[in-house]
Each structure stands twice: as C-alpha cells, then as structure tokens.
Amino acid sequence: MGFEQTKWVWHNGQMVAWDEATLHVSAHALHYGTGIFEGIRCYETASGPAVFRLDAHLDRLLASAAVYELELGYSREELTEVVGQVIERNGFASCYVRPICYFGSHSLGLHAKACPVEVAVLAWPWAPLLGAQGQQQGVRITVSPWVKFHSRMMPTTSKACGQYLNSILAVRDAYKRGFDEALLLDSDGNIAEGPGENLFLLKDGKLFTNDESSSILLGITRDAVMQLAADCGYTVAVRKLRLEDLLTADEAFFTGTAAEITPIREVDGTPLSQGRCGAVTRKLQEHFNAVVHGKNPRYHHWLHFVSAPVEKLANAAD
C-alpha cells in the first residue's frame, strides 16, 4: 500500500498536512544518510488501536540517536504521545509507524556539527513486507552476493538510514533473479540476516537464531518470538549459524516488524519443510497474532493502547 490514506504527519513539533511534510534538497541526511529511524506496527484490537512494543522501539530509537550523536530534543514520553496522536489524527485502526530523526540543512561537510536535527513521525497502512501469500505459503530466498557489513565498519545494532543501502543492494539482486527475498552472510561466511529481517531455524524440535556477533540488528520481533516460543515449550538456542544449518533445517522463518513471521520454503532451489509453512512456524504465527491483536492477556504489557482499553477505564472508575 502507498500513502494515499495518510493525511497528517508530525514534523518538528507540529502536526502538518502530508504535502507540507518536506525537507530541503540540501539536507545532510539526503546526501549522506545521516539519520536514524524505527519501524513500528499498530494493530486493531477489541479495545482500539494498540502499538506493539512501543517502549522497546523507542529505547532502540534513542540508542541509535546516541550512537550518531543526534540530539532529538524530545523525551520518550513526548514521542510516545506523538505516536498516538499521529495514529488517531489519521483515523487508523491498524498501521505501520515510522519515527525518523535526521540532520537537516546547513552545510554539506561530512561533520554535521551545525546541521539542525529534524524529527518526524508518519504512519500508513502497510501489509506484511513479504505479502500475505508469503506468510501463508512461505517465500523463496537466495543467498546474496552482497555481504552484511561488520560491526567494526558500522554499528550493526543501530538502525540508521544510510546503513540500509546494503539491504537495498541485496533486495534488488534477489528480485532481479526471481526470488522473493535475500539472505546476507556476514564477513566470516556465517548467516547474518535478511535485508530487513532476522532468521530462525528449527532442527530436531529446537529453535536456533543468531545474535549481534553475526552482524545482525537485534530485532524487537525477534526478541518477542524468543519469548513466545518458550511459552510454547520450545528451547531457543542462540549461536552462529552456517548456511548448511539452514539448508538442512526442518523449518525456517524470518521475523521483523514489517515481515512479522514469514516462513521460508526454499533457499536457492533447495526446499524447506516440503516447500510450505511448517507446523511450528504456523503455531508461532498464531501465537504472535493473538498477542498483537490483544487476545492474550499475559502480553497486554507489550501493547500501548492509543485509547485506554475498556477494562482499564473500568478499573480506574472503581
């Protein structure tokens, strides 16, 4: 989906119409990618729109800002309020939310010391990154010729704008060769992650994933799935993953805010889980969907309700 339904954007402290949320062509971030951002999902629930793990996303946003020395000028509490305002003002029941902070226009020297920091929050309806069909049937992926950058090159645990050029190259190559998505290896030849997703695989009833030592972004959905998998009785081991681990896995899937939980059914022509979504992946998808839509009270603390849930209002009245 495009941005047709988005009417309002919060930009530098004000709610502005979509067409007015602009930046100058001399903005430092436009030329050098000097910005940081988050991708967050808001889901429809019986108690109204609820943002999934907003606190964790804002924690990571502020940590990324600190790495790149971006002084946001807004507190976590203010940003929390802004996210809710953007969702409400646009009338969304569910949507994808993108806070972004970047160096604006002043000079184009590499050191952005005098450039102002601009902050914006926008939202729009966005289907799963790899499609509803991909979530149901699984996606075909290919090992990218591009390598994920090492943490000594750029901080892999920060979510910065310019860093995604690496992912864009991988995605374009995969699409040109007829695949749904790419898989990047790290500089040591181990599995890193997808262009915008973390990876899990299942072998002999046990789940495996990797960590920052494999040049990954520590995904918030990844963390959620690790906890939900434990609820379902699965052991999750964190270690380096080789390509042969994936090719011999019983099941594999991607996780991410945009992709949610998307099964992998093929890697460069090698089928996984008989070329379809495996039973464990499907179970985790169902568990995850119940949580984000407010159907599992145990995880209500992961949901930031844009309007207070009915039960909370009732408790307050008591």
The residues that are catalytic are 159
Q: Element (H or E) spanning 71, and its range?
A: none
The H or E element containing residue 276 is none
Cβ neighbours of residue 150 closer than 8 Å, sequence gap 6 or more: 156, 186, 187, 215
Q: Which residues contact 23 (CB under 8 A, 6 or more apart)?
A: 29, 30, 102, 104, 105, 118
Which residue is it, tokens 């181990």? 190
**DSSP assignment of 252-274:** EEEEETTTEEEEEEEETTEESGG
Take residue 77 and report the two structure tokens written for it. 């509490």
Alpha helices in 68-141, H assignment, sequence order: 76-90, 132-137
Strands 191-193 and 198-203: unpaired
What is d(CA 280, CA 263) in angstroms, rounded to the nearest whole number? 10
Sequence length of the chain is: 318
Q: At residue 155, what are phi and psi to the nearest 5 degrees? A: -75, 105
3-state secondary structure of 242: coil
